[in-house]
Structure 1
Amino acid sequence: MAKFQNLFTGAMFIISTLLVHAMGDIAWEDGSATFYGDMKGGETMKGACGYGDLFQQGYGLETAALSTALFNNGLTCGACFEIMCVNDPQWCIPNAGTITITATNFCPPNYDPHFYPWCNPPRKHFDLAMPMFVKLAQSKAGIIPVKYRRVSCIKRGGVRFELKGNPNWITATVLNVGGAGDVKALRIKGPNSDWRPMSRNWGQVWQVGGGNLVGQSLSFQVTTSDGKTIVLDNVAPGNWQFGQTYEGRGNF
């Protein structure tokens, strides 16, 4: 009996070990990376996620534009990825470790045969700021093979909301989201109104009819792609203004 138990325990240990390794293999996926700009970062990438000036919004250079396969029509905006250079001893920096970036833009496909197709489907590709790229590989490489995986976003301070629009139409760009990082649902309310769902305009820009929200303090309910929800009360005061950014007292 003891011998059988020992064999059973040993078999379970082997199975558990194989499962752990299998899960580890699944966690990391194959992709590629290039860079844009110079060591000062060049022109800050902006646009497809709606974040605007990445330095002003606190994202800095730890960002990337994603290829079509990763961008997912903007649903991935705000997600964080860990990336490492692999399988290229000529250009990968030895023992470089990994970098972590936030998805902030789209790297569009280019089907002109005279240009590089790195961002064309089905490639999984990251276009990095040069200072991030050279942490992994020599700049002369141009393009490198990488492994990547989704990781939790670590952000300082609370979730932020940039408000734009007019009295009849309000947009809120959701910024500095921790945890999963990518928002899948957003609700808004004032002290004299019920929770109202906002619809995605593009990237992480959400919209709702102004109604009676102008002149009221605004609260938000944010749900990320992993299903977690946070309620941020009275984020914007009653005298909030269009074109301003307001920070909630909490994050994921």
Structure 2
Amino acid sequence: MIAAGSTPLYRSGEGCGACYEVKCTTNGACSGQPVTIVITDQSPGGLFPGEVAHFDMSGTALGAMAKPGMADKLRAGGVLRIQYRRVDQGANPFYFDVLVEFEDDDGDLSAVELMEAGSRAWTPMAHNWGATWRLNNGRRLNAPFGLRLTSDSGRVLVVNNAIPAGWKPGRTYRSLVNYP
């Protein structure tokens, strides 16, 4: 489930992909059970003066925190007080974020696509900012991953098994493949 985070959570894009466990307990429709959300964007600033952190959660995320049959009531509740805690650092089995470096002077990337283990199809990744790209399609991703990079000039580079099956968030994986 996705959410936008306030400036202290989003941190100029560095917080994109961070997972938080959140739960609400102050509204009668709240189940009190935590759900996990992924920060995918920055929320507008200045909405809640004095609040250090806030989340703009998707309707799905809000509904998941509700008691059975009370999702619409919780979504209509407006601002909710929640408890939250960070539960990981960046990418996870449901969210993949990659920083592509050293494209060897072929310009910026216009597209990055990911191929999962056992798949024959390339899945487009969304551009975050700078040279970071993300995939958050709502299901568990299966490594190893191949990457297909397309430069502004239209040149395509395919890197098979760029990210191994035992990948870990925050690690650097190097490839000696480059544009010809």
**Structure 2 length-normalised TM:** 0.53
Q: Distance in 2 between matches of 1:143 and 1:130?
A: 13
Quick one: structure 1 residues 109 and 129, their matched pair in 2 at CA, closer, same or farther if it must change by over 3 Å?
same
Match of 2:61 in 1: 132
Describe the superposition over 1:30-49 as per-residue Cα deviations: whole angstroms up to 9, x where unpaired. xxxxxxxxxxxxxxxxxxxx
CA contact (8 A) 2:18 2:86 kept: yes
Q: Distance in 2 between matches of 1:157 and 1:128?
A: 16
Q: Distance in 1 between matches of 2:76 and 2:168?
A: 41
Shift of 1:63: 0.8
Q: Does 1:66 align with 2:2?
A: no
- The 5 A counterparts of 1:66-145 are 66-86=5-25, 88=26, 90-94=27-31, 96-110=32-46, 117-118=47-48, 122-137=51-66, 138-145=74-81
Match of 2:143 in 1: none
Q: Does 1:148 align with 2:110?
A: no
Quick one: structure 1 residues 68 and 175, their matched pair in 2 at CA, closer, same or farther if it must change by over 3 Å?
farther
Q: For residue 127 of structure 1, what is the amino acid of its counterpart?
A: D
Q: For residue 155 of structure 1, what is the amino acid of its counterpart?
A: P
Q: Does 1:206 align with 2:131?
A: yes
- The 5 A counterparts of 1:28-43 are none
Shift of 1:229: 1.7
Shift of 1:81: 0.9
Quick one: structure 1 residues 93 and 217, their matched pair in 2 at CA, closer, same or farther if it must change by over 3 Å?
closer
Shift of 1:223: 9.1
Describe the superposition over 1:144-170 as per-residue Cα deviations: whole angstroms up to 9, x where unpaired. 11111111353159766799x9x7412
Shift of 1:69: 2.1
Aligned-pair Cα RMSD in Å: 4.3
Q: Distance in 2 between matches of 1:206 and 1:223?
A: 19
Q: For residue 206 of structure 1, what is the amino acid of its counterpart?
A: A
Quick one: structure 1 residues 100 and 134, their matched pair in 2 at CA, closer, same or farther if it must change by over 3 Å?
same
**Structure 1, unaligned stretches of length 5 or more?**
1-61, 111-116, 177-201, 240-252
- The 5 A counterparts of 1:233-244 are 233=175
**Structure 2, unaligned stretches of length 5 or more?**
67-73, 115-126, 133-150
CA contact (8 A) 1:67 1:109 kept: yes
The sequence identity of aligned pairs, in percent, is 20
Q: Distance in 1 between matches of 2:54 and 2:33?
A: 19
Whose radius of gyration is greater, 1 or 2? 1
Answer 1 or 2: which has greater helix percent: 1
Q: Distance in 1 between matches of 2:61 and 2:96?
A: 25
- Runs of at least 4 residues of structure 1 off by over 4 A? 156-163, 172-176, 214-220, 236-239
Q: Does 1:231 align with 2:173?
A: yes
Quick one: structure 1 residues 122 and 69, their matched pair in 2 at CA, closer, same or farther if it must change by over 3 Å?
farther
